[in-house]
């Protein structure tokens, strides 16, 4: 099996933005971390708060987003941050955040990804653990959405996503299959923004969400297409769903090799798939990937 070395940032990175659910100003800082540290979030606004490892064991149920919780601390909306780290194969990072949720940015992971690339990414002397899918794992829901992991005869992750919300939806049916690596991440997925239907916006505002954001800040889709905005690609929606998959898969805490086919899958199904894979598969690491520090 082909494995790679673990990687971390060459220097720290700081970003700021607004939280979509709490409307708060958020400062988020990313620090290099040692081998086998993984991705951990620390809530700096809660005194004495312990780091929260970004692992499926700490994921908690939320609608339309991914959140982690450990003891009294939680962080919401971590999926785009996780996707940017996973897309660029940054395995070890300590993340300090001064709010209960990650900033929304422009709904994509592009700004973060560009910041990470500018800071630089360095290899570490330990190999990255890998789970290679050995037998099919499928999860589905009553609405007919599903996501399936299947073995692949190469040491890569490939994601195929099919999205069709029906004839009445402003989102056109779209599908895409990509083999994931840092170059594909930067060129094909990082720019894709989260989207919301115009008819859902009023309900979200009633819940108090997104009060400091306008349609120009993320992708609101009405009957005639994007409101006060333009699509970055015709299939931006399916690309964002794949970005979300990548962020949720990263909760496994290791590389994942196999073919993942998704049909309308969202965060809940993605997380359930990762839980199932955690139960049914062991991670392995190749001895040939060891280097002496």
Is 267 catalytic? The answer is yes
User: What's the Rg (C-alpha) of the chain?
Assistant: 18
Closer CB to Zn ion, 96 or 244, in the complex: 244
Q: How many CB atoms within 10 Å of residue 143?
A: 9
CB of 243 to Zn ion, least distance (A): 6
Binding mask 245-274 for Zn ion (x = CB under 5 A): ------------------------------
Among candidates 203, 202, 229, which has minimal Cα distance to 107?
A: 229
In the complex, minimum distance from the CB of residue 31 to Zn ion, in angstroms, rounded to a whole number? 24
- Nearest to Zn ion of 244, 255 (CB atom): 244
Among 217, 235, 236, 244, binds Zn ion (CB under 5 A): 244
Q: From the CB of 120, what's the least distance to Zn ion, in Å? A: 26
Nearer to Zn ion, 92 or 194 (CB): 194
- Per-residue binding string, Zn ion, 159-198, x by CB under 5 A, is -----------------------------------x----
Q: What is d(CA 126, CA 133) in angstroms, rounded to the nearest whole number?
A: 22
Handedness of CA 257, 258, 264, 265 (dihedral sign): negative
Closer by beta carbon to Zn ion, 13 or else 189: 189
Give yes or no for residue 113 binding Zn ion (CB under 5 A). Answer: no
Q: Which long-range contacts (CB under 8 A, 24 or more apart) does 206-215 make?
A: 208/23, 209/20, 209/21, 209/23, 210/20, 210/23, 211/23, 212/18, 212/23, 213/18, 213/20, 213/104
Number of residues lying near Zn ion (CB under 5 A): 2
* Closest CB to Zn ion among residues 42, 84: 84
Catalytic member of 80, 240, 267, 281: 267
Residue in this structure with the two tokens 């800082």, named with its chain if needed: 29
> Closest approach of Cβ 24 to Zn ion, in Å?
19
DSSP 115-168: HHHHH-EEEEEEEPPEEE--S-EEEE-TTS-EEEEE--SSSSEEEEEEE---TT
State the pairing for strand pair 52-53/39-43: antiparallel
Least CB distance from residue 223 to Zn ion, whole Å?
Answer: 22
Catalytic residue numbers, as ranges: 267
Which residues of the shown chain bind Zn ion in the complex (CB under 5 A)? 194, 244
């Amino acid at each position: 099996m082909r494995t790679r070395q673990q990687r971390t940032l060459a220097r720290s990175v700081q970003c700021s933005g607004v939280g979509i659910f709490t409307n708060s100003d958020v400062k988020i800082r990313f620090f290099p971390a040692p081998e086998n540290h993984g991705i951990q979030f620390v809530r700096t606004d809660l005194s004495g708060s312990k780091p929260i490892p970004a692992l499926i064991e700490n994921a908690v149920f939320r609608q339309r987003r991914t959140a982690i919780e450990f003891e009294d601390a939680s962080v919401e909306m971590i999926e785009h941050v996780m996707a940017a780290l996973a897309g660029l194969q940054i395995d070890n990072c300590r993340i300090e955040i001064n709010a209960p949720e990650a900033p929304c940015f422009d709904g994509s992971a592009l700004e973060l990804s560009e910041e990470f690339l500018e800071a630089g990414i360095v290899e570490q002397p330990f190999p990255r653990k890998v789970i290679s899918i050995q037998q099919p794992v499928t999860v589905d829901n009553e609405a007919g959405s599903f996501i399936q992991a299947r073995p692949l005869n190469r040491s890569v992750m490939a994601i195929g996503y099919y999205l069709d919300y029906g004839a009445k939806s402003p989102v056109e049916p779209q599908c895409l299959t990509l083999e994931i690596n840092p170059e594909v991440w930067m060129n094909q997925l990082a720019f894709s923004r989260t989207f919301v239907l115009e008819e859902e916006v009023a309900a979200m505002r009633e819940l108090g969400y997104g009060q400091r954001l306008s349609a120009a800040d993320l992708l609101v889709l009405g009957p005639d297409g994007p409101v006060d905005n333009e699509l970055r690609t015709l299939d931006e929606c399916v690309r964002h769903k794949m970005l979300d998959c990548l962020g949720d898969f990263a909760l496994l805490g290791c590389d994942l090799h196999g073919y993942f086919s998704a049909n309308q899958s969202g965060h809940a199904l993605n997380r359930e798939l990762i839980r199932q894979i955690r139960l049914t598969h062991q991670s392995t690491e190749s001895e040939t990937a060891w280097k002496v520090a």
